A and B are shown apart, each in its own frame.
Chain A
């Protein structure tokens, strides 16, 4: 089946650091990738939709200057949490959609971000 690789799995860093998370589709091309955030005991919340070769579409309430998304190729999207603070600590998950209509999402393993 389709495989999506997300890296790193865990990040612990100091407040003020910028953190970059990579999401790669390993065996298929993904025109669209999605970035989610999940706080403990809560559902996934879509942060932004990343479209290859164009600007990301951010959900209401998500700061685009805080969460920088780059989708430079059909197999790679990156999320950079700039100047991270403790309230940014969360589980970040990416997903990639296969080409074609009505395709399901394939999720990466997620990144646990802890800001001290």
Chain B
């Protein structure tokens, strides 16, 4: 089983739609979680951190469920410019050791006019 799993998509949604992505992780020692956005042939850019209490940034809402070991990203009122690949990132920082960063394979979103 992969350490971090995402549905690769593509998710094709009309403008204005609400879309949600899930990401599951296998290591219960995972400590921090992030969503990144990657446009075609570009580097990933941090979209938002994911906190246990859930957090919102404009049209984007991220949630963490430690019991079920998944994080989610909700995008409301989709814009054409939201079309990209969304990467889930999980960090494990063992005591006294170096951080291990694991990326999901990404979920491709295509917002259609």
Give the residues in chain A near B42, CB-CB below 8 Å: 109-110
Chain B 69-113: CB-based contact to A (< 8 A → 1; otherwise 0) = 000000000000000000101010100001111111110000000
Cβ–Cβ contact B43 & A97, under 8 A = no
Residues on A close to B: CB < 8 A? 32, 34, 43-44, 46, 49, 51, 57, 91, 93, 97, 101-110
Closest to B44 in A: A107
How many A-B residue pairs lie within 8 Å, measured between CB atoms? Answer: 53
Interface residue count on the B side (C-beta < 8 Å):
24
**Is B55 in contact with chain A by the CB < 8 A criterion?**
no
Choose from A43, A44, A51 the contact partner of B98 (Cβ within 8 Å). Answer: A51
Give the residues in chain B near A103, CB-CB below 8 Å: 32
**Is B66 in contact with chain A by the CB < 8 A criterion?**
no
**Cα A84 to Cα B50 with chains together (Å):** 39
**Is B59 in contact with chain A by the CB < 8 A criterion?**
no
**Cα A107 to Cα B32 with chains together (Å):** 17
**Cα A93 to Cα B36 with chains together (Å):** 14
Task: Tell me, rounded to whole Å, the shortest Cβ–Cβ distance linking B64 to chain A.
Answer: 12
Closest to A57 in B: B98
Choose from B49, B102, B106 the contact partner of A104 (Cβ within 8 Å). Answer: B49
